[in-house]
Structure 1
């Protein structure tokens, strides 16, 4: 059974920290109703302004030319950053930032997977899927509408694939065919303004079938400067963050992106991780 949802203003409890460590996810109320409404209005305006967006879009909202200024302050949200810091360590740095928009009637189905699709075969380390591995990254989904699309296999980030998972994944340790089911898979139904923080090495999927309602969800990734990056850090294309672009952003967003740029400079190997990610999304997804 899913754990009870708690409010963002309370610090993370020992029970919540244990849940995240052992099960790989945590749900919290985070964004207030007024902010949710403001973000939805901004997203709808951004969609209308992109005549080629179609009925579904995956918008990299911090990148020049794809930016949605009115929602960018979500990366500085005190509640989100405080929870990420409680899970990873202080000095939180933004990394992934995308906006998923799909109208009712869109057919949205992914296969079960770990987020390994961008990693070359010879760089996948079985030690990643053990209780002792220190994973310095947390993925966050922040729905602005009711979102029933995230499914997860609790605890699967701490172990190799089990027998049923191996049977559907076959020879590919990354992703199973769309439509294959897992007995241990659990659906998380999130309400507007909630956030789910999860370890994306857990077996999970985005799956809604033919969407009955519009889906608008912000996807984020956070890293802690207290520890070296793991191979998911480096999603943002920091080369696009010119002084001219940054100068036109809000002070808080500009500061957050400068923190990301500084962290990239500390760890030049992250450029390789970024290249892996870019090759993957170019091949697999239509992003804007």
Structure 2
């Protein structure tokens, strides 16, 4: 299956669209945009059943081809040597891009792409945290967690199986840690102990196949499934708007690996999306320091493949 690049319509931005009927158009109203601003998340159906099946088949085929027997993995599927061609066009999905435009503004740039795979029986637990884990403590700015901060990033979990692993504290992206959270986190803004207490305001989000949750990753949240009863397959993406300056998350993709030969091997819409990412990275060389922090974090804290 191929997907088309809509560059002729927006040559200045290379705004990408996948026109397949597998993409379920989603237009947000003001109440929904307000819910995202105030509560920090929004759940929407993105893929139809046929698209979900196509992506699951692509994941299974890729695992067979690589001889991957790991029971749990976090695969950076836009990187050479780790690519899963059958799912890469998800970054061109017009329903996803449309929601991101409604939440952030025009000129959406992909900046994060991983596939989480976990078999039934895997024990999957994270502590409550904000996504500043890669940043040195003395560089964490409390203003990031306030109503005044201009958040220019959307994280998205797209479920290919029934998934209840994302837990979030609604509204916590707009404030400092409250007394209950501070007691749990201790003297850090980053992560609470994995075996720490529950949070009374924590909410579990249960997604059906084809549904996605778009969320502010400065909110207090966690990935938690305990011992998985069923297989979990989720696609995790991050997006930034070129209309505004980046947050510290922009720079997740390892752009240094995007050679001309690799780009030429990709489907047109995927290639153009990564080219747009490279152009945006060149506009903001200061994010290279956060890119380096993130790469170090991946190697030290999370085992990824």
What TM-score results when the alignment is normalised by the length of structure 1?
0.96
Gap runs ≥5 in structure 2: 1-22
**Separation in 1 of the partners of 2:191 and 2:39?**
20
Tell me which residue corresponds to 2:181: 165
Residue 52 of structure 1 deviates from its aligned partner by: 4.7
Q: Report the number of matched residues.
A: 282
**What is the CA–CA distance in structure 1 between the aligned matches of 2:67 and 2:33, rounded to whole Å?**
44
Structure 1 residue runs of 4 or more that deviate by more than 4 Å after TM superposition:
none
Q: Residue in 2 aligned with 1:124? A: 140
Gaps of 5+ in 1: 1-6
Q: Is the 8 A contact 1:8 1:28 kept in 2?
A: no
1:235 aligns with 2:262: no
SS at match of 2:66: coil
**Among 20, 38, 48, which residue is 1:32 paired with?**
48
Range that drifts further, 9-18 or 108-117: 9-18
Could you say which residue in structure 1 is the equivalent of 2:275? 258
The DSSP-based 3-state class of the residue aligned with 1:22 is: helix
- Taking the TM superposition and a 5 Å limit, the aligned residue runs for 1:189-268 are 189-268=206-285
Q: Match of 1:269, SS?
A: helix
Structure 1: how far apart are the matches of 2:139 and 2:66?
38
Partner of 1:143: 159
Q: Could you tell me how far apart the structure 1 residues matched to 2:68 and 2:267 are?
A: 28
* Normalised TM-score (structure 2): 0.91
Give the Cα–Cα distance (whole angstroms) in 2 for the partners of residues 277 and 53 of structure 1.
26
Pick which of 50-59 and 277-286 moved more: 50-59
User: In 2, Cα distance between the equivalents of 1:168 and 1:111?
Assistant: 10
1:266 to 1:53, Cα distance in 2 relative to 1, 3 A: farther
Counterpart among 190, 200, 208 of residue 183 in structure 1: 200
Alpha-carbon contact 2:26-2:98 (below 8 Å) kept: no
Two-structure CA RMSD over aligned residues (Å): 1.1
Distance apart, 1:29 and its partner CA: 0.6
Number of the residue aligned with 1:283: 300
Instruction: Find the aligned partners of 1:275 and 1:89 in 2 and give their Cα distance.
Output: 27
User: In the alignment, which residue of structure 2 is the partner of 1:270?
Assistant: 287
Q: CA deviation at 1:273?
A: 1.0
Q: Quote how far apart the aligned CAs of 1:132 are.
A: 1.1
Secondary structure at the residue paired with 1:141? strand
Is contact 2:25–2:94 with CA below 8 Å preserved after alignment? no
Which of the numbers 87, 103, 107 marks the counterpart of 2:103? 87
Q: What is the match of residue 19 of structure 1?
A: 35
Cα offset for 1:87?
Answer: 0.3
C-alpha distance in structure 2 between counterparts of 1:121 and 1:89, whole Å: 30
